[in-house]
């Protein structure tokens, strides 16, 4: 068994990840997808599977600053793992998890911050639920993945707020950028964007409380959609099930819910 750690998947590794994800989906009705952008921490295990030598296990880490904390003082480390149905109960998950926890600890030291390590699941895998219970992970909250197809009219939209890209990147993810929305020279909102030819991901979207319920959030969001339309045909967001205001905003802007994600703290 060989564990590989990388922050940039090769074309062959991306294909292997897609094949492994599909094998897991055939075994269980999961909807979770696996990213392939540079900058995330990936762990891959190759070992002979009956009648094949393809990828047998894969996992990834995604560090996200928590909105309600002081700037960059608390991060959530989102962790997801896929293990081939024919290779489970062989220690693959444990080996990847131990390596991931070491990476989270190193991130915490290097950034002098707190890291909340959590697992993501769509609650559709009995095997994943059994593992989470066995290791003592505790339910935290649920989120929804929402997706919207982009149109030509999105690219033509001109926002009333002034949208600018910040000088510094939004985080350590390669290609991700932080954008600000300003009104009368005052920054009233921020949003991070991770562009991709297949699907652009918007996250950490927020508007100052004093500027909410005035149409600025919808205007800023539509401005971000205009930027996303320059590189992708689809845009996605993740929103907490408890954030009714944000969910309503996304729905009014044409997003639809495609996945339900549950977070378990470890």
Helix (H) or strand (E) holding 137: none
Same domain, residue pair 229 and 157 = yes
What confidence score (pLDDT) does residue 132 get? 95
Which of 113, 136, 159 terminates a domain? The answer is: 136
Specify whether the CB–CB gap between 237 and 261 falls below 8 A: no
CA distance 201 to 233: 11
| pLDDT value at residue 6 | 94
Asked if residue 12 and residue 100 are part of one domain, the reply reads yes
Kind of pairing between the strands at 162-165 and 177-183: antiparallel
Token pair 């290791």 in the structure block, residue: 135
* Residue 41 domain-assigned (yes or no): yes
Q: Are residues 193 and 82 in the same domain?
A: no
The Cβ of residue 55 has, within 10 Å, a number of other Cβ atoms equal to 25
Q: Are residues 14 and 131 in the same domain?
A: yes
pTM: 0.67
Residue 264 lies in a domain: no
Are 159 and 106 within one domain?
no
Q: Clarify whether residues 42 and 163 are in a common domain.
A: no
pLDDT on residue 47: 77
Quote the CA–CA distance of 159 and 246 in Å, as a whole number: 19
Whether residues 115 and 157 share a domain: the answer is no
Q: Are residues 128 and 157 in the same domain?
A: no
Tell me: do 43 and 79 sit in the same domain: yes
How many structural domains does the chain have? 2
Residue 152: inside a domain, yes or no?
Answer: yes
pLDDT at 50: 47
CATH number for the domain spanning 181: value is: 3.40.630.30
**What is the C-alpha radius of gyration for the chain, rounded to an integer number of angstroms?**
19
Please tell me whether residues 119 and 200 are part of one structural domain. Answer: no
Residue 265 maps to a domain: no
Which residues, 6 or more positions from 236, have their beta carbon under 8 angstroms from its beta carbon? 145, 146, 147, 148, 199, 200, 201, 202, 258
101 within some domain: yes
Q: Render each residue's pLDDT in the chain as its tens digit; 266 residues.
A: 688 999 999 998 999 999 999 999 999 999 888 888 788 899 999 876 544 558 999 999 988 887 655 656 889 999 999 999 999 999 999 999 999 999 999 999 998 999 999 999 988 999 999 999 999 999 998 888 899 999 999 999 999 999 999 876 555 555 678 999 999 999 999 999 988 878 999 988 999 989 988 999 999 999 999 999 998 899 999 888 878 888 899 999 999 988 888 999 99
Confirm whether 104 is domain-assigned: yes
Listed residues 110, 136, 162: the one ending a domain = 136
| 125 and 154 belong to one structural domain | no
Q: Are residues 81 and 185 in the same domain?
A: no
219 sits in which H/E element: helix 216-228
- Residue ending a domain, among 136, 156, 185, is 136
Asked if the structure places residue 165 within a domain, the reply is yes
In a domain, 96, yes or no: yes
List residues bridging with 53 in a β-sheet: none
Range of the domain at 71: 2-136
For position 264, what pLDDT does the model report?
96
């Amino acid at each position: 068994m060989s564990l590989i750690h990388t922050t940039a998947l090769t074309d062959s590794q991306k294909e292997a990840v897609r094949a492994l994800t599909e094998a897991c989906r055939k075994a269980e009705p999961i909807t979770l997808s696996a990213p392939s952008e540079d900058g995330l921490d990936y762990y891959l295990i190759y070992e002979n599977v009956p009648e094949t030598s393809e990828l047998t296990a894969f996992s990834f880490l995604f560090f996200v600053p928590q909105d309600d904390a002081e700037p960059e003082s608390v991060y959530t480390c989102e962790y997801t793992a896929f293990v081939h149905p024919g290779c489970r109960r062989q220690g693959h998950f444990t080996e990847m998890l131990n390596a991931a926890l070491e990476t989270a600890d190193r991130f915490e030291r290097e950034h002098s911050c707190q890291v909340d390590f959590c697992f993501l699941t769509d609650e559709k895998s009995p095997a994943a639920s059994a593992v989470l219970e066995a290791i003592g992970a505790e339910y935290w909250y649920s989120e929804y993945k929402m997706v919207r197809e982009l149109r030509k009219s999105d690219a033509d939209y001109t926002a009333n707020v002034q949208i600018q890209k910040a000088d510094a990147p939004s985080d350590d993810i390669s290609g991700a950028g932080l954008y600000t929305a300003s009104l009368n020279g005052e920054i009233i909102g921020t949003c991070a964007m991770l562009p991709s030819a297949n699907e652009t991901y918007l996250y950490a979207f927020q508007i100052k409380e004093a500027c909410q319920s005035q149409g600025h959030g919808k205007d800023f969001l539509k401005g971000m959609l205009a930027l996303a339309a320059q590189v992708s045909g689809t845009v996605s967001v993740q929103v907490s099930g408890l954030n009714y205001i944000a969910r309503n905003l996304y729905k009014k802007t044409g997003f639809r819910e495609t996945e339900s994600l549950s977070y378990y703290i470890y």
